[in-house]
A and B are shown apart, each in its own frame.
Chain A
Amino acid sequence: MARGVTGRRSLALACGALLAAGCGRGDRIVVGAKNFTESDLLAELVAQQIERRTGLPVDRRLHLGGTFVCHRAITAGQIGVYVEYTGTAFTAILNHAPLGDRDSVYRAVAAEYAQRFGLTWGRPFGFDNTFAIVVRRRDAERYGLRRISDVARVAPRWKAAFGYEFLERPDGFAGLARVYGLKFAAPPTAMALGLTYRALADGKADLIAGNSTDGVIQALDLVALEDDRRYFPPYEAAPVARADLLGRHPEIARALDELGGKISDDAMRRLNALADVEHQDVAAIAREWLARTLP
């Protein structure tokens, strides 16, 4: 019985008791997701796209855990497909030092995943969920800020607040300040990431680091500045699938390819906002997006 495919537990038990070999025929595809909204949303998109285009039954295992949980699940065959980010795979799974060029990161990740884990990277969706330097729209307009390098002028009068991860990571604050020559009025305030948005919107901080696709950026009337010196490593999202599964069902790879390049940063931000800010159902958001974008 193929391990990339898991039946309903009761069914699997019954089959296992009777005749294990006969069970692999009714393939069920299992799509997993990490434990945050965007990952759930993309998994739902992938799941519905597979259902629509191939007619194969798809199980969802959403909100599983962090990167390592999903990676272990897919290498063990508990799930068949999930959405991963190139930068995360490159640094957290493959333990390389962060790299700036998006194409070389994608190529390296795809090659190493195929060789070491028997996993295939599909086409990236088109957006980049990397760190984003975020300011109030009002300030961006008043001081003419479009790119991060524009911030150097106002930084000496500004107060920055960051999450702990951004302050600690090798591709976080220290390097940013160096590359862009940013000198703030005081050392940045360290606080819980979720509260930094609140502090920025309420005028208690002037600059924070969020994620480029966070839905609240639009909801709170904030803007993400362009990383004009390409400091942040690329975190392009793309579906990762077990090669044996794609071998059995090449139609899945074709279905996933259709999603490639279809979601811009802005579009992903809007999708996240529908879920996080307007609290719409993830499956409904995905269904509507698919119907509109890929009829």
Chain B
Amino acid sequence: MNLLQFYAHNSREALTLIGQHLFLVAVSTGIALTVGVPGGILLTRRPAWRGPVLGIANVLQTIPSLALFGFLIPLPFIGGIGARTAIVALVVYALLPIVRNTYTGIAGVDPAVREAGRGMGMTDGQLLAMVELPLAAGVILAGIRVATVVSVGTATLAGAIGAGGLGVYIFRGADMVNNTLILAGAVPAALMALAADGLLGLAERRLAWRAG
């Protein structure tokens, strides 16, 4: 059975899995954003925290995902089996690029520009909102782009923990030695990653154009 025939026979299931996959990526990237961007900003205000925080995020990034799931299963609130655990793992992986790029973007703003803002009597909040964030937006968006694309790929592992998504086809195919099934999961996941990369790349370019 080829891929198109497979989808024709299993369209409802395929759409459900694609929907679950998008949900996992959207929720986890959303959480990573709301935690990561303020986190990165905080690091520019508390330089002493930079080393430890980025260090921890770096280490978390290197934990193999199946091992991470294993660690998470027994934990209360954030563990167990199902979508919650998968989202926690995806957030862990998405945090590093977002935090790091937010920090780097803001730290990279020309000190002269910042001084000029201060000279005009801006408060720290105004400086952040009107000078630093707009100038760092390109770099921050690049971090979000990396985080999103990585999430689309990593979310296939949600299938290992009962959270559904396109990984279900990949795991099922791998266990049943069925290449069509593996492709049925891998191809849409790859297309989704390319689409996310393209859209966020477009946003990045428009931002660069506006800033220029």
Contacts and interface: CB of A to CB of B under 8 A. Distances in A.
B73 A190 contact: no
Given A161-B81, A165-B176, A192 B73 contact: no
B175 to A, nearest CB: 4
The SS class assigned to the A binding surface is mixed
A192 B81 contact: no
Given A191-B159, A191-B161, A195-B73, A168 B176 contact: yes
Interface string B52-74: 00000000000000100110011
B153 interface: no
Contact of A202 (B66, B73, B172): B73
A204 B177 CA distance: 28
Given A164-B176, A165-B175, A168-B176, A189 B162 contact: yes
A191 B160 contact: yes
Interface footprint category on B: 20 to 34
A193 B174 CA distance: 12
B150 to A, nearest CB: 20
Nearest to B160: A192
A190 B175 contact: no
B74 A202 contact: yes
A168 B66 contact: no
A163 interface: yes
B171 interface: yes
B30 interface: no
Contact of A191 (B79, B162, B174): B162
A199 B81 contact: yes
B161 A192 contact: yes
Interface string B121-135: 000000000000000
Interface of B: 66, 69-70, 73-74, 79-82, 159-162, 168, 171-172, 174-177
